[in-house]
Amino acid sequence: MDFRLSEEALMLAETVERMMWETCSLANLRALVLSGEPYDRGRWGQIIALGLPGMLAPVEAGGSGLDELAGVLVAEACGRVALPEPLIEHAGVAIPLLAAAKPDADVLTAAVQGEAQLAIGHPANPFVANADTAEAILLPHGDEVHLVPSSAVELRRHESFDEFRRLFAVSWNPGAATRIADASLGRRLWAKALERGALLAAGQALGLAKGAIDLAVDYAKVREQFGRPIGTNQAVKHILADQQVHLSFARPVVLAAAADFAAGDNVSLARVSHAKLAACAAAESASRAAVQVLGAIGMTAEAGAHFYVKRALALSAAWGTKAFHREQVAERVFEAQIGPANTFPRGGAAA
């Protein structure tokens, strides 16, 4: 039993964090909003250079074959800067689904290399995010999985409050040519994709919480009122300390859920749901706290707090609502073994 992250995992996290830090500042985000471009091609190039689009793809498909724990650490780094590019849905959810359903799909190679983006229309989400820049979209027909080229869909935009989540309703015609998984396989794949989406949303939410706390702390150190930094006031300090507490008790849950993801039983499902609930609650709370600590400027489009507020809200409803995830935890709590000797029931701690 060892809860520490490996050297490699820590190194990966540090590399990705540094790249995000250098390419995705608040000024970069604002410039992107003003440019009207869907995403920043330069930054996507850096993401490709680090091999991130193929992080979870099998080695046979040209990917890095990393596990969900690595995925969560990358997601955390993305959340920390409120990354606009759809790296996580592309690399974390769509590619693993496609690789499982149709490992020889042409577009898989391009997707793994980051040359083509994939979007995913999961039944749990009413719209398809970032469908306009995707080369192909994974779509459900009943429980079947279809891989539909962008040339064969019609998109209708639905404005999201998050300027970097471009949401679309997709019209298309299912047929044998687009089907890549039948209903029985599809049911399993969609379920797995939902779990992955939820886990990686939790990872991003950890980053959002951290980013929002950092933003507020930096501001509280320099903004002066009554002749001293506002951060010297206990009322301000304690708001931020509470956010740190929320974050500290969400992160180990997310890490444990990631480390245990492969098991796929009700214990691991409940932990993914717990991770999503706790991390999204921490992100929502921290982003609201950031607005409060920034004061009026926190309400503007100019300061960064709104990016965190919006993404936290969007992620907390995407990939399974709170009610859905709470129910998934409830099932474990009311139906399975609980109690002190069941922290890791599969790790040799029989009831």
Residues that bind other proteins (CB under 8 A): 1-6, 9, 69, 213, 217, 220-221, 228-229, 231-232, 234, 236-238, 240-242, 244-245, 248-250, 252-253, 255-256, 259-260, 274, 277-278, 326, 329-330, 333-334, 338-344, 346-349
Q: Show Cβ contacts of residue 87 under 8 Å, excluding neighbours closer than 6 positions.
A: 47, 52, 53, 74, 78
**Cα gap 227→219, rounded to integer Å:** 15
Closer residue to other proteins, CB minimum distance, 141 or 223: 223
Closest CA to 279 of 200, 217, 334: 200
Closer residue to other proteins, CB minimum distance, 71 or 186: 71
Closest CA to 162 of 204, 207, 129: 129
Closer residue to other proteins, CB minimum distance, 101 or 329: 329
**Cα gap 158→121, rounded to integer Å:** 14
Closer residue to other proteins, CB minimum distance, 156 or 221: 221
Minimal distance in Å, beta carbon 71 to other proteins?
Answer: 13
Minimal distance in Å, beta carbon 279 to other proteins?
Answer: 11
Other CB atoms within 10 A of residue 81 CB:
24
Minimal distance in Å, beta carbon 150 to other proteins?
Answer: 38
Minimal distance in Å, beta carbon 309 to other proteins?
Answer: 20
Crossing angle of helices 183-222 and 266-294, in 10° steps, is: 30
Closer residue to other proteins, CB minimum distance, 195 or 260: 260
Query: Is the torsion defined by CA of 7, 254, 219, 44 positive or negative?
Result: positive
Instruction: State the residue for tokens 């019209």.
Output: 171
Q: Which residues, listed in sequence order, are joined to residue 158 by a DSSP beta bridge?
A: 167
Half-sphere exposure in the Cβ direction for 83 (13 Å, CA):
29
Q: Which residues, listed in sequence order, are joined to residue 149 by a DSSP beta bridge?
A: 136
Instruction: State the residue for tokens 């500042």.
Output: 25
Closer residue to other proteins, CB minimum distance, 69 or 120: 69
Q: Work out whether strand 136-141 and strand 118-120 pair parallel, antiparallel, or are unpaired.
A: parallel
Minimal distance in Å, beta carbon 231 to other proteins?
Answer: 4
Minimal distance in Å, beta carbon 291 to other proteins?
Answer: 17
Minimal distance in Å, beta carbon 278 to other proteins?
Answer: 6
CB 218 within 8 A of CB 241: no
Minimal distance in Å, beta carbon 217 to other proteins?
Answer: 5
Closer residue to other proteins, CB minimum distance, 164 or 308: 308
Closer residue to other proteins, CB minimum distance, 137 or 256: 256
